[in-house]
Structure 1
Amino acid sequence: MNLRHKLLYVAMSLAFAPGTLLAADQEATVQNPPSGNPGPAERKVQNLDAVSVTATKRETPLQKTPVAVTAITVDTLDRERVMTVQDLTKLVPGLQGTSQGDHGVVTLTLRGIGNDSAKTEYADPEVATFVDGVYAPRAEAASGLLLDMEGVETLRGPQGTLWGRNSTAGAISFQTAKPDIGAGFYGNAQVEAGNYNQTGARAAFNLPISDTFAMRVAAVHQQHDGYVDYQRPSGQLPSLAAQQQAYLASPASGGTLANFKPIDPGQYVQGGDKYNAQDQSAARVSALWQPSDAFKWNLSYEYFADRGTPSLSLMQTPRQGQDFWSALIDTAPYLDRTSKTVRSRMDWNINDGVQLSYIAGYNKYSGKSDFDQDVGVSVPTSFTTNGVYQDDRTNDSNYKSWSQEINLKSTGPQTLDWILGAYYGYEDNDIRFDIPIMNGTRYGTVSWQGSFIQPKETVKSYALFGQATWHLSDHWRLTGGARWSHDTKENKGGINWGWAYDPAVPQVPISPDVYPDPSNGFAISQRNTAKYSKSKPTWLLRLDTDVSENGLLYASVSTGYKSGGTQDAGTLYKPETLTNYEIGSKFTFLDGHMTWNSAVYYEDFKNFQLSAPIVYPDGNHGLGFSNVGGSTKVLGFETELAYQQTNDRFNLIFSAIPKKELGKLVYAGSNDYQGLPACPPESNLANCMNVTGNDLPHAPNVSLTGIYEHTFHLANGGRLTPRISAQYQSSQWLSYFNLGSGDRQKAYTRGDLSLRYSEPGDKWWVNAYVQNVSDEKIRTSAGRFLMSDGSLQYVSQYLAPRTYGVQVGVWF
């Protein structure tokens, strides 16, 4: 085993705080197991200023990179049990994640900028995600397992020059672990078990095939039971006499009991998979071919399957006698998602000063789901009255995407560091999404129902970009960059079908095998065929300087861009742009054992795109887009402090967003918030309100995460490492409506604990953990229902309750 791999293993296997990737400043004493797999027996003090990142699409030291970037290594991902992108939120200043149950996705907000309804084949996110440099365009990509990662970089602020469209607020770059040609055969494996019948297993191993070729194979499976119990209808449903009385009082009865049916308790789900369950698997096969020092080719195939269940919104105040984590459910949860991805990167060193790279990717995603959109809030008084049955059902969704990027850049010491590139991306998506809404129960009369059938929606994106850094002197650098993007989005043959209220047609919920047409009670409510095409430049200007040998100051102005597009009825919406003004600093202290990075920023956002499910004045439903007028303004400060000395590791991650003011939007509507005032005709909405100047959601004034661990060296040579991680967030709005306590998450503190034992030879380890120790009920979203008595009941998505378990890992 060569020294390079020893040092690599030391860096990957140490426990450390987020934002730091450790590198050895002294050679560690290493013992090799018989298999040849490296395993450090004794760790020396590490430097925190040796971290390298690729935020500028070239490898540079984190402390010398004038970008607000958080670098998180594989070991931190493991020790903080980061399974999905939502779990990253406590490790990155200003990052928030919101679950969207009806589509089973996670939407992201960064520095106050995001959109809860940036989901499905329609809406693009404000935070772009990349895996090995390949862009993942749909929100479903944020729901996958983080398998065998090498590290994660979160770039805060618009990254439109180098990383492209849809990185309005920032970008997250995931780097997978790569094969190692010279390291020999080695690997690791891990199993775990915990409450809610949680089980998990993962493994990865390196396969050297020849002196020029190696492979790496990794697999993972994670599952746990659902957190949401099923409530029994007994004791909640009205008596037969009360049902008859309520039915007689309804217009559907005609004043007689001729068509009366008692409520069937059997329609309520009592068994099977629960909501908020996990059942996810992933596997990746990677290959590295390096026939010479000048050329290498990384190629991977990844498979991801999700057979869990969607996350359910819960009543903020449960009904009397019912547990908080429970609901009266009449639509069983269902989720079936499969993703297949190929990623390729070729790097060719043309000479000592120039490198050519070609990055390409292909993804095919398919998914189906069922979700109880009424979430059991209103108990029916008869089979046609009071309660509402609503099933949000993705009958099928198929998304395919291709992307290619070629870039040419300078390497090595240069007076002028430069990069030039071209990008092409293409999507071909289709979906059918049904929404049956019935009065009372699923056997009642139709309130409204529709089917959204989009047979072909395409996206084409072209871009040219370049960036250069001029070294004005040994300590001053000036950077300029620009990107030209052209986007074309087209809906071909999309139709929204709405209920025509034909009394001659049986009023039953639409089935997946029924195509809507006039013969079964439907009429076309909107034709969505349309085309959007527009170009947009983005740019960057930045000045940075060294402050002695251990400090960096920078000031930048940068822009981000998200394309416009088409929406229901073929209406177009405008692109959004963000201009970010930022001043930042990066300092290293104590001979590299402490780093302190900070940034203050001001964002000026034009034409902010907000999308939401809405009701039109004619009673039909759809997904509507609004461009916020004027300027949406955000002012914030963030800082990260990391310290490591011998056996102690400590991190503070702080974010403050005192100003987050929405621009002008007079007519804002959302079906997730029933009971909004009626709207004037010119709004094209049934209900809406003026949200101009409101606070942005998911942007607490203050957020603080602290992580500390200490290693105790035992007499037998083993190590015992307790770790505590705690996050505080001040209160925050959960929507741009700002509707009061039900639309708000109050201030909270959430803590995680773990205790890890590593045996003397580092061949195996055991870790016990508790997450959300105090069992806090933390809302990530909100909505409300208008009840028959005129009251309003709020519901929310919540982070997981208290979980605990044990992990066992081995190196071989």
Structure 2
Amino acid sequence: MKTYALMLGASVLAISCCATAFAADPPASKKETAELETVVVTGQRRTENLQTTGVAATVLTATDIENKNVVKIDDLQFTAPAVVINNFGQGINFNIRGVGKGETNTQTLTGVITYRDGVATFPGYFTEEPYYDIAGVEIYRGPQGTFVGQNATGGAVFVRTNDPEIGGGYNGYILGQVGNYYNAHVQGAINIPVSDTFAARFSFFTYRRSSYFSITDSDPKDNCPGHKYTDCKPGYNPGDAQWAAGRLSLLWKPTDALTVSFKYDADYLDNGAYPAGNYTDTWKTWPTKGGIPAPAEWTANGGINPHYSNDIFHVTANAPQYALDRFTRAVLKVDYVFPDGITLRSVSGFQNGNTNWSTDLDATDYGAQTSYYSITNPATGVVNYYRPKNWSFFDHVDETIWSQEFNLISPDTWRVNWVLGLSAQSDIYDFPQGKFYTLVPHNNEVSVPGVDTTTQATLWGQNYQASYAVFGQIGYHITPKVEVQLGGRYSINRTTNNVTWNQYGLVASQSGKAGNFEKSDNFSYKASLNWTINDNNFAYAFIATGYKPGGLNPPIYNAVQPKPFGPETITSYETGWKSTMLDGHLRSSIDAYYNAYKGFIVTIGYPDFTYPGYATEVNNPSTTVSYGFEAELEAVFGDFRGTAGVGLMHQSIGKFYAIDARAVSAFGFGKCDPTKGPLPDQYGLLPAANVCVNLSGHSMTYAPLFTFNIGAEYTFHLESGDTLTPRLNFGHQSPQWASLFANEGLGDRIEARNLLGGQFEWKHDTYIMALYGTNLLDQHYTAAVLRPLRMPGPPREYGIRVTKVF
């Protein structure tokens, strides 16, 4: 695979480098009239031509979104290089170039933030907001410390929805779709002209489908009498999804100088449930890698998994399951242009949401009494059952965000152009008492949440996060073709906990105690040199930094209060070249980067010997190095259009020792110093064998070596004036690791993804009918790992879609 990836990357580079040479003087009869349209980006607070802006970015227009079947954020990963999205049910680990988020909790902030109409959205929950009535999506790769700040060490995504059109009359569209899994989807929008200075737009989105899963639940209390140990429909939702969303947009332009925009979004996203199987269920034989012996029940069965299922959508469960997100967002944007052309901009945001999620945490059926495997700690003789029996997870979380940003933006035509900004944001997580249970036994339903506290771990209280920043960028044209840019952002971040843990009857409060407050300040910067070689070629080089603040660890009973984890920083060196060739028919972009990543946040076993089986978050004490190459092509030749993208990446973690909390007993002996490795405790004892793991040289999580995407379409013109357009889109991601420990025996390996999608479109006047399909090869793949669960990505889906434009 490495050889194949390198050869393909070299081929893309060769096409980019050499196309100008062989296209210098094409015969007149071969020249086509169709050319690529100009693509713009807005992430630097002004509208800029992507081909002459020193950033690595992929831009999807409204047409691209429809043609590539992009409906939700997961679909973006197959449209751009080096982008990986792992959906673990209640949230998403979004990573670009291996940097972003690898820990599934609220305290670890994301490293890739999504903006909607100028406002940073929820950083953890509510990430599946659908894509409808969209004007464009911009995916930025690499740290965006100046304009985005704390949540953009890996990159950022800017989503722009359609604005109302003043003087545009009544116009819009309606789209209807039906498909397999009883899929039914309707969306639409209408522009309403109110006056010569005011217009409104209303858009909506509805979607439903039945579950992908076949769930074996033989518990008679789950509405399955007479079907013991056979597939049946449980009494809870097995994963039937129902989504509804709406958006009201208002635009007021009383003068040429003043523009006021207001947008209000409301979303109801009921995914029914996120069923999942244990990662060992799809293994027929035990893997030789990982250093963990096969369990006795496997060896007694001739080395074959007695619970083997070759289908990731066939799972067992006997616990309540649901998955429901409800949230709203209001955005008020005001632009005022002074007589000298300087723009004063204000963007105010308010977001409020509630998420509810429950899952069968061990994926076992009613009456299951056997753990898949156990590990004996040599130091203590204690047997640790990694696959627990009959445990559930419940949560109910409210989140509220207030945000405000002010910008002063100079005109684009000035030789010295600049942007100044101020921003502030408050984010409050509320965990109501009796609603958030990390572990609740459901064996024969003998334990009820909130009743027998000695068998449960529960959390309640509030977590407060606040950030403030001042930022700016200045650009100076040394010559009309050479520009130097300098940017910087000073950030202040604070977080505090007012929470209480009840861990199996032992109550620990973090309120008013040491370790319940964490603060960090940072200055991020970017220095860039941009060179417009000629009308068709542009080169850039820069150094940029990014920053993500630290957070708080919950207490371990009342005995231990782990230290807060500090911020992480990244320094990126990047150079790139963008060119337009063949008389505007072919456009390319290539870049190479080198990252030094310091202090990135990881989850490991508590380093002290006392509680190695309890997970805690720490900063990697060494520098992780990553570097890579990316290339994108876009072409149009008459009725043919095509796109391609490739990303190659290498990563290596610096010297770092850690305890894998999954592979040791709850209590042990010895210490595991992150920089020195195994150390004796006060009794002179060292950690047990294979407990203190050297992670040096390992890859970061969710960081595949190779990513590749390609799309092609051709339009046939009929005599009637109608058109027929077949199109195909393919995305590939090489295998990746879900944990720094890269232990295949603990389910850390995520297999490669190869997804093929397509459409066959017929356009007649203002009607568009399309046969569509996603994951046409029906690859059953792991979309994320929530240990020990393997969350599947969607299987093959297909159907018919009809759109009326008016």
Q: Which category of TM-score, normalised to the shorter sequence, fits these structures?
A: 0.7 to 0.9
Taking the aligned partners of 1:439 and 1:355, their CA distance within structure 2 comes to: 59
Deviations 1:313-366 (A, max 9, x none): 333337357754111111132122210110011111012331110011000111
Is the counterpart of residue 735 in structure 1 residue 729 in structure 2? Answer: no
Tell me, yes or no, if the aligned pair for 2:153 and 2:547 is still in contact at 8 Å: yes
- Per the TM alignment, residue 89 of structure 1 is displaced from its structure 2 partner at its CA by 0.4
2:617 to 621, 625, 643: 625
Match of 2:654 in 1: 663
1:680 equivalenced with 2:646 (yes/no): no
- Residue 22 of structure 1 aligns with which residue? none
The answer (yes or no) to whether the contact 2:415–2:477 under 8 Å persists in 1 is: yes
Query: C-alpha displacement at 1:293, in angstroms?
Result: 0.8
Take 2:269 and 2:786, find their aligned partners in 1: how far apart are those partners? 26
Q: Which moved more, 1:183-192 or 1:45-54?
A: 45-54
Q: 1:276, CA displacement in angstroms? A: 4.4
Aligned residue in 2 for 1:754:
759
Contact residue 780 and residue 797 of structure 1 kept, 8 A: yes
Aligned to 1:524: 507
Alignment partner, residue 317 of structure 1: 283
CA contact (8 A) 1:460 1:487 kept: yes
Partner secondary structure for residue 446 of structure 2: coil
Deviates more, 1:273-282 or 1:178-187: 273-282
Q: SS at 1:574's partner residue?
A: coil
Counterpart residue number, 2:796 = 802
Q: Is it true that 1:723 corresponds to 2:727 in the alignment?
A: yes
Does structure 2 conserve the Cα–Cα contact (< 8 Å) formed by 1:674 and 1:784? Answer: no
| Paired letter, 1:388 | K
What SS does structure 2 have at the residue aligned with 1:810?
A: strand
C-alpha distance 273-48 of structure 1, shift in aligned 2 (>3 A): farther
Q: 1:670 to 1:59 in 2, by over 3 A?
A: farther
Look up the match of 1:475.
Answer: 481
- Aligned-residue offset at 1:472: 0.4
Q: Work out whether 1:498 is the aligned partner of 2:503.
A: yes
Deviation at 1:287, TM superposition (A): 0.2
Structure 2 counterpart SS, 1:63: helix
Q: Helix, strand or coil for the counterpart of 1:271?
A: coil
Comparing 662-671 with 563-572, greater Cα deviation is found at 662-671
SS in 2 for 1:736: coil
Q: Which residue of 2 aligns with 1:649?
A: 641
Counterpart of 1:291 in 2: which secondary structure? coil
Cα distance, 1:781 vs structure 2: 2.9
Report the TM-score, using the length of structure 1 for normalisation.
Answer: 0.81
SS of the residue corresponding to residue 127 of structure 2 reads helix
8 Å contact kept, 1:225–1:276? yes
Task: Specify the alignment match of 1:290 in structure 2.
Answer: 253
Displacement of 1:649: 0.5
Cα separation, partners in 2 of 1:612 and 1:377, compared to 1, 3 Å: farther
Match of 2:43 in 1: 55
Aligned mates of 2:767, 2:760 — CA distance in 1 = 14
Give the Å deviation of 1:150: 0.7
The Cα of 1:88 is off from its aligned counterpart by 0.4
1:390, 1:435 within 8 Å by CA — same for their partners in 2?
Answer: no
Residues 234 and 462 of structure 1: is their aligned pair in 2 closer, same or farther, counting only changes over 3 Å?
A: closer
One-letter code of the match for 2:803?
G
Helix, strand or coil at the partner of 1:809: strand
Q: Is the 8 A contact 1:471 1:478 kept in 2?
A: yes
8 Å contact from structure 1 (residues 428, 459) kept in 2: yes
Structure 2 residue 392 is matched with structure 1 residue 388? no
Aligned to 1:421: 421
Q: Distance in 1 between matches of 2:607 and 2:131?
A: 37
Confirm or deny that 1:706 pairs with 2:710.
Answer: yes
In structure 2, distance between residues paired with 1:619 and 1:444: 26
The Cα RMSD (Å) is 3.1
Matches of 1:613 and 1:142 in 2, distance apart?
Answer: 28
Q: Within 1, Cα distance between the matches of 2:283 and 2:108?
A: 32
Change (3 A) 1:541 1:476: same
Structure 1 letter corresponding to 2:283: T
* Match of residue 65 from structure 2: 77
Query: Which of 470, 474, 480 in structure 2 is aligned with 1:464?
Result: 470
User: 1:568 touches 1:622 (CA, 8 Å); kept in 2?
Assistant: no
Structure 2: distance between partners of 1:747 and 1:585: 30
Q: 1:206 & 1:350 partners in 2: Cα distance? A: 29
AA aligned to 1:801 is P
Matches for 1:167-316 after TM superposition, within 5 Å: 167-233=152-218, 270-272=233-235, 274-314=237-277, 315-316=281-282
Q: Describe the shift of the 1:634–1:387 C-alpha distance in structure 2 as closer, same or farther (beyond 3 A).
A: closer
* Matching of residues 37-116 of structure 1 within 5 Å: 46-48=34-36, 50-101=38-89, 104-116=90-102
Count of equivalent residues: 701
- CA distance, structure 1, for counterparts of residue 84 and residue 160 of structure 2: 21
| Equivalent of 2:774 in 771, 785, 789 | 771
What SS does the aligned partner of 1:75 have? Answer: helix
Change (3 A) 1:215 1:626: same
Partner of 2:579 in structure 1? Answer: 587
Deviations, residues 693-749 of structure 1 (Å, cap 9, x unaligned): 211232222211110000011122111100011123333223221113743234453
Quick one: which amino acid aligns to residue 74 of structure 1?
Answer: A
Q: Secondary structure at the match of 2:125?
A: helix
Partners in 2 of 1:59 and 1:179 — Cα distance? 18
Given that 1:115 and 1:611 are in contact with CA atoms closer than 8 Å, whether structure 2 keeps it comes out as no
**8 Å CA contact 1:469, 1:479 repeated in 2:** yes
Equivalent position SS for 2:782 = coil
Q: What SS does the aligned partner of 1:644 have?
A: strand
Percent of residue pairs identical = 25
What is the DSSP-based 3-state SS (H/G/I as helix, E as strand, rest coil) of the residue aligned with 1:66?
A: coil
2:521 corresponds to 1:535: yes
- The answer on whether the counterparts of 1:496 and 1:528 sit within 8 Å (CA) in structure 2 is no
Tell me the equivalent position of 1:599.
591
Give how far 1:223 is off: 1.6
**2:347 matches 1:362:** no
Quote the offset at 1:188 in angstroms: 0.3
Runs (5+) with no aligned partner, structure 1: 1-43, 236-262, 500-521, 786-794
1:534 Cα deviation (Å)? 2.2
SS for the counterpart of 2:784 is coil
- Matched position secondary structure for 2:583: helix
In structure 2, the CA distance between the partners of 1:419 and 1:444, relative to structure 1 (3 Å rule), is closer
- 2:531 equivalent to 1:545: yes
| Shift, 1:665, TM fit | 3.3
Q: What is the match of residue 28 of structure 1?
A: none
State the distance in 2 between where 1:565 and 1:546 align.
Answer: 43
Aligned 8 A contact 1:117 1:612 in 2: no
Segment of structure 1 superposing worse, 617-626 or 775-784 = 617-626
CA deviation profile, 1:737-773 (whole Å, cap 9, x unmatched): 11137432344532112101110x2x11111112111
Q: Is the 8 A contact 2:440 2:457 kept in 1?
A: no
The answer for unaligned runs of 5 or more in structure 2 is: 1-31, 221-225, 285-306, 372-384, 556-560, 674-680, 682-686
Pick aligned residue for 1:123 from 95, 101, 108: 108
Which residue identity is paired with 1:71?
V
Q: 1:356 to 1:382 in 2, by over 3 A?
A: closer
Q: Which amino acid aligns with 2:710?
A: G
2:148 counterpart of 1:143:
no
Cα-to-partner distance string for 1:395-415 (whole Å, 9 max, x where unaligned): x21100011000101013111
The offset of 1:232, in angstroms, is: 4.9
Please tell me the residue identity of whatever aligns with 1:563.
P
Change (3 A) 1:768 1:98: same
| Contact persistence 2:216–2:229 (CA under 8 A) | no
Find the aligned partners of 1:181 and 1:622 in 2 and give their Cα distance: 58
Which residue does the alignment assign to 2:784?
Answer: 781
For the residue of structure 2 that corresponds to 1:651, the secondary structure is strand
Q: Distance in 2 between matches of 1:646 and 1:679?
A: 71
In structure 1, give the amino acid aligned to 2:772.
Y
TM-score (ref. length: structure 2) = 0.82
Which secondary structure state, in structure 2, belongs to the residue aligned with residue 595 of structure 1? strand
Change in CA separation of 1:710 and 1:174 when aligned onto 2, cut-off 3 Å? same
Q: CA deviation at 1:208?
A: 0.6
The amino acid across from 1:680 in the alignment is: G
Partner of residue 299, structure 2: none
